[in-house]
Homo-oligomer: A and B are copies of this chain.
């Protein structure tokens, strides 16, 4: 076979204002380019412990079992479900967008019995419906919901939902892929038992890592399992031999060293800024973007009280060619915004203000580019 003649890939420089990845600061990219060391090197072990401490801060939790899974957010999601759902377990799953639907699919593939609570795409999960689901299914073992629906930009009341689950003795599994670092996530205060996030949203790191956290009640469920976890790679009982800080670190899989340097740096930057300041920055830039978008006549999909500052879904104006307009934004303005997903495909645009993308220059560039593209 002949060797293909292919040159180094030199990516264009984009302004990333889609639903993630967000702009990755130079400082994080440079951290990823530091020399690779071994996954069992004591120096790497120290970095792992620091990363866990930094993630506890990001999640606002004391959970010992807090670490980044070696895969994208979907692997973090699946890690939660394969470990915490056994065949025939009833699980209440809230579906108000694509990622709730993915949770549902996970429950099914684990052999669980899903009880679906549906809400309109673009709306928060309705706690009353969740309460009703528990009333009719009092033996449900878990409640699963998405805190910040990336497909719609709706935020749900995690504290209220977790409170209902706890009343019925069920675990809460929460998707906070798009909220972590952007809007308040308070694992301990809200009583969330298991949660997963992503590296490439409000943490502004490269995609490919999924921070997760598990509380005591989740660990009890894990210990009490009657069946083996269906996945070898995601079996927490095995992964922990590597990520737990106590005693000898044993090999499970080879951790993605350089991406983990990047996540460490992203979390150091979050700690330097202060998480409350990061939340406030996302809010401030959202207000600016909102003014700009409304000035262009664009209409938000999500009611104001349920709206995420970092993910702005607006209805596609009548007469605009979705794909052509986004292609022009990319070609002429190097600006990436997100298309609609699922039932909202072709109907909305999703404009992300996540992590380092939540800055004044980006808001200005985005509003100006949209103005040009939407001009009659």
Contact = CB atoms under 8 A, between A and B. Distances in A.
Interface of A: 1-14, 16, 18, 20-21, 23-24, 27, 29-44, 47, 50, 53-54, 56-57, 60, 70-75, 77-78, 82, 102, 105-106, 108-110, 198, 200, 206-208, 228-233, 251-259, 261-262, 264-265, 267-268, 270-272, 274-275, 330, 336, 341
Q: Which 3 A-B residue pairs are closest in the complex by CB-CB distance?
A: A208-B256, A33-B33, A3-B271
A232 B105 contact: yes
A38 B11 contact: no
A4 to B, nearest CB: 5
Contacts of A53: 4, 6
A72 B4 contact: no
Given A29-B33, A231-B109, A254-B21, A11 B43 contact: yes
Contacts of A229: 109
10 contacts: A2-B57, A16-B38, A32-B33, A32-B258, A36-B206, A71-B75, A74-B232, A74-B233, A206-B259, A208-B254
B31 A30 contact: no
Contact of A38 (B27, B36, B60, B336): B336
A140 to B, nearest CB: 21
Nearest to A21: B36
Contacts of A77: 233
